[in-house]
Amino acid sequence: MGAIYYFWSGKTVVESADLGVETLFQNTTITELMAKHCPPAQLESLRCRCAIVPAYHDFQSRFRPEQISLMQGNRTRMIAETAKSLSNIRGEMGKCLEKKRIKP
């Protein structure tokens, strides 16, 4: 199945997931992503476990709590920093997806 997908699209499933993450999460803050995609009932979903939670941890590791509180009032900066966190965890996300056996 993965080989057919690769032949048809020219991308592996993991590469497609990376592109999908960028498109799916475009113009969204990390707090919005957590609220929408990682409520307690969905913490084990691939989207939450492989993309959003690692990005959330990256975001929190880069800023002190008071910086995050101040940033909450600046949506443009929050979106930019969320995108940076998603970019920072790209390799980790790929490994997580592979571990969950989503590969060609």
CA distance 28 to 48: 15
| pLDDT for the residue numbered 97 | 85
CB 62 within 8 A of CB 81: yes
15 vs 62 pLDDT, higher one? 62
How would residue 88 be classed by pLDDT, with cut points 50, 70 and 90?
very high
- List pLDDT tens digits, range 40-79: 999 888 889 999 999 999 999 999 999 999 999 999 999 9
b or e along 18-39 (b: 16 or more beta carbons within 10 Å of the residue's beta carbon)? beebeeebeebbbeebbeebbe
CA distance 16 to 3: 13
